[in-house]
Amino acid sequence: MAEDNKADIPSKYDLNAKWDACLDLGVRRFVYSSVAGAFAGLLLFRSPVTRWASVAFGAGVGIGSAYSECSLKFDGSSPKSTPTVSNAPLSEVNI
């Protein structure tokens, strides 16, 4: 009976699928960015504190990008915005 109800929910209203996708995206981006930060820290820095700072920076970038993409999934808005073009002549445009 639960499977019948699940088939009736459209994909844009299925919160369980959205949460699963966002958690998966967040964990993957956190891990991959932390590894990239650790690798960059090993190559670029000599101090252990600076290396840990590069790992923390990479982790923050990963979490931030996952958060922004998940917020777009939950809001339903498109990630790309189109610029508005004015049809007014150049003499009427305030610069």
Calpha distance 68→75 (Å, rounded) = 11
Please state, in angstroms and rounded to a whole number, the distance separating the CA atoms of residues 25 and 71. Answer: 12
Q: What is the pLDDT of residues 15-73, one digit of tens each?
A: 788 888 899 999 999 999 999 999 999 999 899 999 999 999 999 999 999 999 989 88
> Which amino acid is residue 93, in one-letter code?
V
- pTM attached to this predicted model: 0.66
Query: Which of helix, strand or coil describes residue 14?
Result: coil
